[in-house]
Amino acid sequence: MTGGKMQEPLLTVRDLIVEFPTRRGTLRALDQVSFDIAPGEVLGMVGESGAGKSLTGAAIIGLLEPPGRIAGGEIRLRGERIDNLPPEAMRRIRGRRIGMVFQDPLTSLNPLYTVAQQLIQTIRTHMDVSESEARKRAVGLLDRVGIPAAARRIDDYPHHFSGGMRQRVVIALALAAEPELVIADEPTTALDVSVQAQIIDVLKEICAERGASVMLITHDMGVIAETADRVAVLYAGRVAEIGPVRDVIQHARHPYTAGLMGAIPTLEQDSDRLVQIPGAMPRLNAIPTGCAFNPRCAHVFDRCRAERPILQRAAPNHHVACWLTEEGSA
Amino acid sequence: MTPLVQVDGLTRRFDISKPWLNRVLERESRQFLTANADVSFEIKKGETFALVGESGSGKSTIAKMIVGLLAPSEGRIHFDGQEMDFASGANMRALRRRFQMIFQDPFASLNPRWRVRDIVAEPIVTFGLLQGADVAREVDRLLEVVGLSAADAAKFPHEFSGGQRQRIAIARALSSKPEFIVCDEPTSALDVSVQAQILNLMRDLQDEFGLTYLLISHDLSVVRHMANRIGVLYLGRLVEVADAKRLFLEPQHPYTRMLLDAVPDLALSGRRRKPVLGEIPNPIDPPSGCAFHPRCPLAQDICKADTPQPSVTPTGQAACHFAGKIGEVA
Ligand SMILES: Nc1ncnc2c1ncn2[C@@H]1O[C@H](COP(=O)(O)OP(=O)(O)OP(=O)(O)O)[C@@H](O)[C@H]1O
Ligand SMILES: Nc1ncnc2c1ncn2[C@@H]1O[C@H](COP(=O)(O)OP(=O)(O)O)[C@@H](O)[C@H]1O
Ligand code: SF4
Ligand code: SF4
Ligand SMILES: [Mg+2]
Ligand SMILES: [Mg+2]
């Protein structure tokens, strides 16, 4: 999906602002976040904790926790605005057109119902099929996500499954109504590496099979590298850099991304010291003026403290919010 | 040269039986969980020895036994040639000054009601190392050593970020001038940019004070970056020990190979990945023989019957019936 002509995007997010009114003033948690997801594309959303990854996902599916609210911008699904829909209309989109996978599988599964009941209900809520047809589909889905003896296990309750198996069930549930987009928020963070690899493979394969786009939210650059077509790097509620995975990982242009890549120990590199970015991401009540990264940036100059850099094109498909960016610069 | 730490046949069982009355009524026998079985390794002065393994593999249990927080069910630990005697308070006290421990969650390990000054000074006071104004001077010095400032001594832990709290924990660990520090997932709760700061700091301190580390982590990349030698745990047993760099180039145990295949490929090297099979079995009822046999692509009949003992490999040791012959079987 990288390169080539951009098709009409499946999802468009433009200048999204999310705020939390508090007694001590309004906190701006997302500040003019913009990106697209093409049909069938896997977009990775990466950043350190508090960068705004989960809020971006929550805003898209209309599940911001009050008092959090969208204070600006727009979100479109196949060209139609979905950020201002009434709750009932949004509920129909969730599950049917946008499936969800969260970090903790138990938030998506109801402990009181068997896996069969939950899958069949989801399928029948969104699709006009008989009970027995729905059950057949449900077994097929469980089998596809790698639950052994699916026809028998389907009548078990969620707590009878291991963590990894539960996450497979959640993926089956997210895909049950054949959504166009799946938003997966840290789907493997709670799992061990050997299980993580299996879950990522399953998620990626099934979405590809069904032509579903994926927004994969994670703090793990390795997971993004293996899975995503493009990646957006978030910092302090803003997009710092967005582009094809290979370009961003191997030729990061934003000083924050570059620092981040050097800070991650890998199985391949041999260096005595890791790249060190001083300090930590600012809290929402203390976001620096101008470029939010300026107090930690080794390349900071006057303009960075005064003016906020906008996302600019640095290469085809590759945009960077940094005043040092020039097209073609490395 | 005698190793600084020597661990022989370390085994720890936990009694997880239901209360006596329930057992009688439900006709159940006592139940034990073997968290560690027959673990042996040594740590040389000045090196970093790492233990890596998935959740529940017994990493933290080993750490707690080595620092004397938990008594082994079987086996012996020697520190600098002297056997640890868990029954003798005097013996443990004398040894305890010489080693310290850093935990994963810097918040839980720091008393929230104490000022940083008192947290860092506690080992100095407990072991009577300094008196009066010298204590405060030493605390100030230690805070600067770990990259904080003397002014931070008057603050409380909640005033610091996760990375800074881990620096406080390190300052405290250093205050009794230990030779050996056990670090249990010291950066697992931190973001990668902050993790890099802490790993670099640990390296610097090791060089400066000639420290010996036991580093525990589930992150293979972190372990490879930091360690001289690595031990791999699976279901409480040490399945392989090898020189750090060689472990990744020439894994000798099938489980090590599987783990390596599961690590996401950040370098986008196109490193081929074999699918990972199955999940970790229930530790209450581990598989017979080699506990890895249900997931092992090389398993033979003997693997179900006999527990493999560690044998010497070109890179260290491995507990597999076919260690050293993996190339031939695969
Ligand atoms: N106090 C205890 N009582 C009963 N079982 C225990 C106890 N402590 C640990 N265990 C069990 O012993 C096994 C090893 O636990 P341990 O905490 O050492 O694992 P670990 O490798 O540190 O895992 P993690 O990566 O999750 O920290 C696990 O199955 C655990 O449930
Ligand atoms: N309910 C809330 N009230 C106030 N601030 C919030 C709330 N939820 C999230 N935030 C803040 O918004 C920022 C982004 O949060 P989040 O999207 O969860 O980050 P991420 O998923 O990238 O770790 C953080 O600073 C977080 O503290
Ligand atoms: S705009 Fe300035 S401070 Fe921000 S990343 Fe670029 S150089 Fe650094
Ligand atoms: S002993 Fe057998 S089952 Fe265990 S790792 Fe070796 S080949 Fe596999
Ligand atoms: Mg999140
Ligand atoms: Mg542990």
Residue B323 lies in a domain: no
Question: Using one digit for the tens of pLDDT, what is the confidence trace for B230-243?
Answer: 999 999 999 999 99
Residue B195: pLDDT band by 50, 70, 90 thresholds? very high
- Return d(Cα A326, Cα A315) in angstroms, integer: 9
Chain segment A277-298, per-residue pLDDT in tens: 998 899 999 999 999 999 999 9
Residue partners of B322: CB distance under 8 A and separation at least 6? B298, B300, B329
Confidence of residue A4 (pLDDT cuts 50, 70, 90): very low
Give residue-wise pLDDT tens across range A198-246: 899 999 999 999 999 999 999 999 999 999 999 999 999 999 999 999 9
pLDDT class of B25 with cuts at 50, 70, 90? confident
CATH code of the domain containing B220: 3.40.50.300
Domains of chain A: 95-228 (3.40.50.300)
**Which residue of chain A comes nearest to B196, CA vs CA?**
A263
**Shortest CA distance from A218: residue in chain B:** B191
The predicted pLDDT at position A327 comes to: 67
Question: Could you tell me which residue, A52 or B108, shows the higher pLDDT?
Answer: A52
Q: Residue B245 domain-assigned? A: yes
Chain B residues with CB-CB distance to A226 below 8 A? 264-265
What is the least distance, in Å, from the CA of B273 to any CA of chain A? 10
Is B280 touching A (CB cutoff 8 A)? yes
B274-301 tens-digit pLDDT: 778 888 888 888 999 999 999 999 999 9
Q: Which residue has the higher pLDDT, A274 or B330?
A: A274
Whether B297 is in a domain gets the answer no
For residue B326, is it within any domain?
A: no
Report yes or no: B191 and B164 within 8 Å, Cβ to Cβ.
Answer: no
If one residue of B57, B62, B105, B184 were mutated to test the ligand 1 pocket, choosing by the most ligand atoms within 8 A of its CB, it would be B57
Residues 31-70 on B with a CB inside 8 Å of A are: 54-55
- Is the pLDDT at A66 greater than 80? The verdict is yes
Tell me the residue range of the domain where B106 lies.
Answer: 5-281
> What is the per-residue pLDDT for A3?
44
B319 located within any domain: no
| B300 vs A: CB within 8 A | no
What DSSP assignment string belongs to B174-203? HTT--SEEEEESTTTTS-HHHHHHHHHHHH
Distance in Å, alpha carbon of A193 to nearest chain B alpha carbon: 6
Search chain A and give the residue with CA nearest B201.
Answer: A273
Number of domains in chain B: 1
In a domain, B204, yes or no: yes
Residues 6+ apart with CB under 8 A from A76: A11, A12, A14, A82
Whether omega before A67 lies within 30 degrees of 0, making that bond cis, reads yes
Query: Is the CB–ligand 1 distance for residue B35 below 6 Å?
Result: yes
Question: In the predicted model, what is the mean pLDDT of residues A285-312?
Answer: 96
Q: What is the pLDDT of residues A98-154, one digit of tens each?
A: 999 998 888 889 999 999 999 999 999 999 999 999 999 999 999 999 998 999 999
Q: Are B308 and B296 in contact (CB under 8 A)?
A: no
| Residue B112 forms part of a structural domain | yes
Residue B311 counted as domain residue: no
- The DSSP annotation for B10-23 comes to EEEEEE-PPPHHHH
